[in-house]
Chain A
């Protein structure tokens, strides 16, 4: 318990210092030059799509209006069984083209390549179903530019997010090989034609709770870890990678959490080849995504995440406490294994023991109650600090009312949300033991009005 408090507290402090430094920095001027310069490196945006018919149009529309000097959008239709491809063909007036694909990574067969006659930099790859990792690898093969960004088909990106996420890469002369931005929850926001018109909060506590969770994870954990090049996740919803180094590392692997696995592999490669390369996280660029708004789908998501986490850790278990891998081996890997992966199990055992103890009377009631209140307050302080960081860095939630709701809901976390996620994650562990694989389905409602 104490270790967890110290670790989280440490990360929070690092994040505070970093974010405070940038607080109130002008939102436009630092990026003007990147936007106008012909030396800004072009980027390929890869959007894997499997049965994304509902959300894909809005998502692509948001990509067509981003502020970036030169980019291409490659949508990879990964053998969808719905009308994703047909919708793209009619909406963007696609025509079939001949294009040479540089096969640097192995993928399932490409059935056809299409180009939009309205937007020449919009390309659609139609391929046989091979999973998200396979789709992304196909996208990498087809891409023209030195950097690529993987983006989920159901997310909406803010217009200047690419400038912000690529700034550190460009200014580091390629020393930074991957850079991730923040992901926020779109439920409750008004989105039209792929642009966030007004930011709001959903009225479902389960979604608000996830908003707080995202704020916390992104603002505290990742800024703290990024500072010391310990970052193990560049979010699957929004991250930019150097193509050369991803290919060198072997591209995406077929696993549940392919985004995290790739980042761990990049870290591993950096250490093994003794390269002077970094992976960073930039809190400000924001990508909005649809969060599950029912217990059923949230449970599936969390179980999947937990299996994904274990997959990555297991694949790279060699790194754990291996002096060759330095801080990744001694800090990041143990952190993700003991705190993120095993934590829920220990917590669940704690809950069970507590309940048993209350019934058998072997526990001092006041003592238990006080401990409970303490954990409640501690969790809340952590969430509130994340809200404070949000205020200092981005101020995305404009109204005082939003902030009061976030606070009140965060107070209830320990009572229901936390135990639920703990149980789901332990369920994920159990499923993993019995070898369950695959994604589990999530029904998309689509975040944008067409």
Chain B
């Protein structure tokens, strides 16, 4: 019995040994060749660097052969992406795009069709970074494939929004429930103003998730012509909508209807009170100075902090906080006032 087991064990041992040695040699050889390739690419980038810079400055791009191998293409793509991250301006953008269109189109097209997710993603990043509008049809094709993951779709919609593609609103409606707020915000704020206006025209038909993002975008991009929408939303039943529109007022500095704002200081929701304090500070609404002093004693730390910050935005803000420090019996309010006075004197907004 032991004899048989021994033989079996020996076979297992040999098999495992073979596996181990194979992994070792695979890694050894792969590492060696990878290092060689990386070194070659590094060298190529060094060689191309000056010519590439010269091309981006002057437009003279006659320094390359038309038949390029894989390493040369990777070196060019990496170099171009690095320049694209540091150089700006329409002329440079055009030159980057022209160069990429001429030399990299078929390479990136192939990469888009690769089986591995990371390579397809890299290709999408390259298309965006190198402004390769020429590849938009391939990008649409990738979007429609069944195996395309949500991360890819998110990146596709993002880059299409940047290229002002007309399909974006439809894609957004299709997949927005699967996208994070962060991605949605980035996509919507990249939309052309005309497209964004169309989206806002049909505001009521949008899902709640998209509505929130649209309001945030109005505030961030200071789209003042949509003030009627913000005004209307302040009276909505949905509290989140009210908070977001207050935030949009605070971000855009649009004048708010003070009669509507008055009620928010009494809200049960601390986020509403905090936003009310913020808007009052941003717009320096004299009428609500007293409310801000009152909010210095709010039960929520963040509201007290925002109130103190807002008071300091008024010309006599320092005087008000000093008065609070001298007169108040509420230690919370006093501490907060002292903290912000100190920040003001040290010139730290943080």
Q: Which residues of A contact B (CB under 8 A)?
A: 20-26, 28-30, 32-33, 37-40, 72, 97-100, 102, 115, 120-121, 170-173, 364, 366-367, 370-371, 373-374, 377-378, 380-381, 384-385, 387-388, 391, 395, 398-400, 403-404, 407
Task: Report the bound CA distance from A323 to B72 in whole Å.
Answer: 58
Stretch at the interface among B94-102, B111-119, B271-279, B316-324: B111-119
Decide: A39 and B6 in contact? CB cutoff 8 A: no
In the bound complex, residues from chain A placing their C-beta under 8 Å from that of B92 are none
Q: Taking CB as reference atom, which chain B residue is nearest A97? A: B342
Residues of B within 8 A of A (CB-CB), count? 51
Main secondary structure of the interface of B (DSSP, over half): helix
The answer to whether B182 touches A170, judged by C-beta atoms less than 8 angstroms apart, is: yes
Any chain A CB within 8 A of the CB of B31? yes
- Asked if B19 is at the interface (CB within 8 A of a chain A CB), the reply is yes
Complex: how many Å from CA A377 to CA B24? 12
- Closest A residue to B10 by beta carbon equals A370
Assembly CA distance A38 to B251 (angstroms): 12
- Minimal Cβ-Cβ distance residue in B for A72: B350
Flag if B180 contacts A21 (CB, 8 Å).
no
Q: Is the CB of A371 within 8 A of B9?
A: yes
Does B141 count as interface, using CB distance less than 8 angstroms? no
Measured CB to CB, the nearest residue on chain B to A383 is: B20
Known A-B contacts A387-B27, A388-B23; the reply to A370 vs B13 at CB < 8 A is: yes
Does B206 sit at the interface, judged by CB under 8 A? Answer: no
- Residue among A40, A100, A366 with the highest chain B CB neighbour number at 10 A: A100
Counting residue pairs across A and B whose Cβ atoms lie within 8 Å, the total is: 117
B180 touches A25 (CB 8 A): no
Which residues of B does A touch, CB under 8 Å?
2, 5-6, 9-10, 12-13, 16-17, 19-20, 23-24, 26-28, 30-32, 34-35, 81, 85, 116-119, 121-122, 125-126, 129, 180-183, 185-186, 220, 301, 304-305, 332, 335-336, 338-339, 342, 346, 348, 350
Residues of A close to B17: CB separation below 8 A: 377
Which B-chain residue is minimally distant from A121 (CB atoms)? B350
Query: Closest 5 CB pairs between A and B?
Result: A29-B125, A25-B118, A102-B301, A171-B180, A100-B335
Residue of B nearest to A384 (CB): B23
CA distance A25 to B13 in the complex (A): 37
Cα–Cα, bound, A444→B309 (Å): 43
Q: A25-B118, A37-B182, A370-B13 are in contact. Are A377 and B335 (CB under 8 A)?
A: no
Which residues does chain B contribute within 8 Å of A102, judged by CB atoms? 301
Could you tell me if A398 and B28 are in contact, using CB atoms closer than 8 angstroms?
no
Asked if B186 contacts A366 (CB within 8 A), the reply is no
